[in-house]
């Protein structure tokens, strides 16, 4: 392995680790937010808040044109070639286009708030949308700044902005507003305050870290290239927004707002399985963009990233698939255990999707945004079709099955497309050994839950049993490589901790 490639892998591990820590922090604070809200307001009020947020985020995905997603494709390549003026122009143009279109969308949502309230037969939805419409341009600005940090590989600022200040601000603000009797308006106000504080911090730090923004002149770029890359992502972004929102819409249409709230809590628990995948993708896409003409480098990094993601995701998936109701009851009260079957269905889909690795970032980093659009349309199509078939019959379980099936099929298509385009896929015999070790962890987890009936014991010991049995399986089957041990040893020395290095045992 060349020194440059080794350094880039260390960068992927280090920056991905920073993002992973941030994701964990955001999840903890996010669950704190939900735990507080579900105890201070009724399921019906939380359901209306969730429905309103879903509508706003859907409109935002469409109105912003998702132009910010072009930032971490063009800027890394321009910075690598020291074309700072072009990088600055990409950032400026993306921001101006996104903010203008988002403002138009916000005004349209405000005007149509009463009609939407009548459509979903929720009178309080008018109040929620009357306040929440300002989130549309605010969230566009937020995502532009976050993606800019991805482009310059300054993940620590992304973490502070997105994963600490934003959710922490929401928790404190919501507690204060709800304690003062603000109700739904307090929920919305707390959410907006958290985003506002995070955006203000991010703008200051971006200007501080990227001096080319302050001192470079604006150089001409091809707006046609910018738009040709971004336009498919506009529709892909709209479609992908539907993935996380369409279940709520269909449940809200066929069921009541309580069911929306139950599913929202279950969804928030299951989506945690993407925490490792989403930690690596912000770093991975700029690396693909920088090396998109070197298939050997891309193949090596794709396989490495996929194996790492799978290794770290399976132990998280076992408890949620085997005993979801235990964690729902402890974290969110017994009322929300009805979402257990839906959580299990979602968790299976997210685990399989994570096992495909960052296939979406490979396609985007290579510039194949039309394939990204196709895959997203496929995902939404399968999800929506199965929602309308299954939700009327099975309720929120049907929504979980629909989303899980969509994620499984669309991810598999992405892996196939990469193979047809570049001639490589993310799997090796090492990956097969990882899944074999995962099967052992699932078998032991199911056995443990069938024998032990006390919820608190299951909640505490099941994750430990899953992780230990999975690690033993990896050691026995040779799931680790010499490269894994050397990388972990290097990171351990930085942290002056040798625990991970001692337990890893590479296969031959």
- Convert the pLDDT of each residue in 87-127 to its tens digit: 898 898 889 988 999 999 999 999 999 998 988 888 889 99
Question: CA-CA distance, 411 to 355, in Å (whole number)?
Answer: 9
Question: CA-CA distance, 158 to 74, in Å (whole number)?
Answer: 19
Percent of the chain whose pLDDT exceeds 70:
87
- H or E segment at 166? helix 166-179
Q: How many CB atoms lie within 10 A of CB 159?
A: 21
Q: Does residue 322 contact residue 377 with C-beta atoms inside 8 Å?
A: no
pLDDT at 478 over 80: no
Task: Report the length, in residues, of the chain.
Answer: 508
Q: How many CB atoms lie within 10 A of CB 82?
A: 10
Average pLDDT over all residues of the chain: 83
pLDDT at 22 over 50: yes
DSSP 394-447: HTHHHHHHHHHHHHHHHHHHHHHHHHHHHS--S--HHHHHHHHHHHHHHHHHHH
Q: What is the pLDDT of residue 230?
A: 65
Enumerate the domain spans of the chain.
1-18+29-221, 233-427
Please indicate whether residue 276 or residue 200 has the higher confidence score (pLDDT): 200
Residues 368-411 pLDDT 10s:
888 988 898 899 899 989 999 998 888 889 999 999 999 999 99
Lowest mean pLDDT among 29-38, 337-346, 498-507: 498-507
Sign of CA pseudo-dihedral 250, 252, 255, 258:
positive
Residues 43-81 pLDDT 10s:
778 888 888 888 898 788 778 877 787 787 788 878 877
479 φ, ψ to 5°?
Answer: -80, -15
């Amino acid at each position: 392995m060349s020194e440059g490639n080794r350094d880039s892998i260390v960068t992927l591990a280090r920056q991905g680790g920073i993002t992973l820590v941030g994701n964990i922090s955001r999840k903890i604070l996010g669950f704190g937010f939900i735990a507080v809200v579900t105890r201070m307001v009724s399921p019906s009020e939380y359901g209306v808040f969730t429905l309103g947020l879903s509508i706003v985020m859907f409109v935002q995905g469409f109105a912003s044109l998702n132009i910010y997603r072009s930032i971490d494709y063009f800027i890394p390549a321009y910075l690598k070639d020291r074309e700072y003026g072009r990088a600055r122009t990409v950032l400026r143009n993306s921001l101006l286009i996104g903010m203008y279109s988002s403002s138009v969308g916000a005004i349209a949502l405000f005007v149509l708030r009463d009609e939407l309230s009548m459509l979903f037969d929720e009178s309080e939805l008018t109040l929620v949308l009357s306040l929440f419409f300002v989130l549309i341009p605010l969230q566009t600005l937020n995502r532009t700044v976050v993606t800019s940090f991805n482009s310059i590989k300054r993940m620590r600022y992304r973490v502070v902005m997105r994963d600490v200040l934003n959710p922490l601000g929401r928790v404190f603000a919501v507690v204060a507003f709800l304690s003062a009797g603000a109700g739904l308006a307090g929920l919305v106000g707390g959410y907006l305050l958290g985003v506002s504080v995070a955006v203000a911090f991010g703008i200051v730090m971006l200007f501080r870290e990227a001096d080319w923004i302050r001192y470079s002149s604006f150089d001409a770029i091809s707006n046609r290239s910018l738009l040709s890359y971004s336009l498919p992502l506009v529709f892909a972004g709209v479609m992908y927004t539907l993935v996380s929102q369409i279940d709520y819409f269909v449940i809200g249409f066929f069921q009541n707002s309580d069911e929306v709230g139950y599913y929202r809590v279950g969804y928030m628990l299951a989506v945690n399985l993407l925490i490792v995948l989403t930690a690596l993708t912000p770093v991975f896409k700029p690396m693909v963009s920088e090396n998109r003409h070197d298939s050997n480098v891309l193949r090596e990094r794709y396989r490495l990233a996929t194996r790492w993601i799978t290794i770290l995701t399976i132990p998280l998936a076992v408890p949620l698939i085997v005993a979801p109701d235990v964690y729902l009851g402890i974290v969110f009260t017994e009322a929300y255990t009805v979402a257990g079957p839906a959580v299990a269905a979602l968790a299976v889909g997210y685990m399989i999707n994570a096992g495909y690795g960052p296939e979406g970032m490979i396609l985007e980093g290579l510039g194949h945004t039309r394939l990204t659009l196709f895959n997203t349309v496929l995902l939404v199509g399968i999800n929506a079709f199965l929602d309308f078939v299954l939700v009327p019959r099975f309720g929120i379980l049907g929504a979980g099955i629909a989303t899980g099936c969509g994620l499984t099929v669309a991810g598999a298509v992405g892996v196939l497309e990469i193979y047809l385009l570049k001639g490589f896929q993310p799997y090796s015999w090492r990956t097969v050994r990882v899944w074999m070790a995962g099967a052992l962890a699932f078998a032991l987890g199911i056995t443990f839950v069938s024998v032990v009936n006390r919820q608190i014991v299951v909640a505490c010991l099941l994750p430990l049993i899953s992780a230990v049995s999975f690690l033993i399986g990896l050691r026995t089957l040779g799931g680790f490589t010499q490269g894994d041990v050397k990388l972990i040893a290097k990171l351990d020395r930085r942290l002056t901790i040798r625990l991970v290095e001692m337990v890893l045992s590479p296969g031959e």
